Copies of this chain bind each other. A is one copy, B any other.
Amino acid sequence: MTQQDVQWSTEINNRVDVRVARTRAAVLDAGARLLFTEGWHAVTHLRVAEEAGVGRATMYRHWPTVEDLLADVLVDCQEPWEAAEPTGDLRVDLITELDVFVGALQLSKLPEIIVAAMERAPTDPRIQAMHESMTRISRHPVWTVAQAPIERGELDPELTEEIVAAHTLGPILYQRLFDGQHVTRSDIERTVDAFLTAFAT
């Protein structure tokens, strides 16, 4: 990187230059659009610059490498995970959470993001970190719901966050990734019931 490290300091006095904000927004938006329509190999400086109506040089100023760009795009297009209100009924709450999960899988392009991140994760620590954070975020809701029943002894006390995730998110994700088909309400209920039957004490 011969060019000066941070000439446009992004924020001065805690204030972001309007132009910078505009550029970033346009680019990240265009990047996400390309990622979802053409796959992650379409996310290059050139393509995104064209798509965003932004100069190519500007791209390189903000994101020196493709990894910088892709990492930002991935972070940006992660929709916030709205936590559902727990009713106290474990079965109902699990179904609700998995419903949200499936919604995210279907509406947003989470599978594409997951795959893109997984592909790059081995080589890029930033994306690896993002992948881990995504994993954590996705399993947090079901773990939160399951935690109390475990402590109360209604569920197998051996259960860990990883195991709960594997047996609730796992089957759902498998169906979405490999069968491609829509994950239906009854798929969710079957998964939850199987989990409860197997791990209820």
Contacts and interface: CB of A to CB of B under 8 A. Distances in A.
Interface string A113-156: 00110111011000000000001000000000000000000000
Interface string A176-191: 0111000000010011
A163 interface: yes
B179 A175 contact: no
Residue in A41, A163, A198 with the greatest tally of chain B CB atoms within 10 Å: A198
Nearest to A117: B115
A74 interface: no
A119 B115 contact: yes
Nearest to A170: B174
A199 B120 CA distance: 38
- The A interface is mostly helix, strand or loop, or mixed, namely helix
A197 B197 CA distance: 7
A6 B198 CA distance: 57
A29 interface: no
Contacts of A41: 41, 119
Given A115-B119, A123-B38, A194-B198, A166 B162 contact: no
A39 interface: yes
Contacts of A120: 39
Contacts of A179: 135, 162, 166
A173 interface: yes
A191 to B, nearest CB: 8
A195 B191 CA distance: 10
Given A40-B119, A197-B198, 11 more contacts: A41-B41, A115-B115, A115-B118, A119-B119, A162-B175, A166-B172, A166-B179, A170-B170, A170-B171, A170-B173, A194-B194
Interface of A: 38-41, 115-116, 118-120, 122-123, 135, 162-163, 165-167, 169-175, 177-179, 187, 190-191, 193-195, 197-199
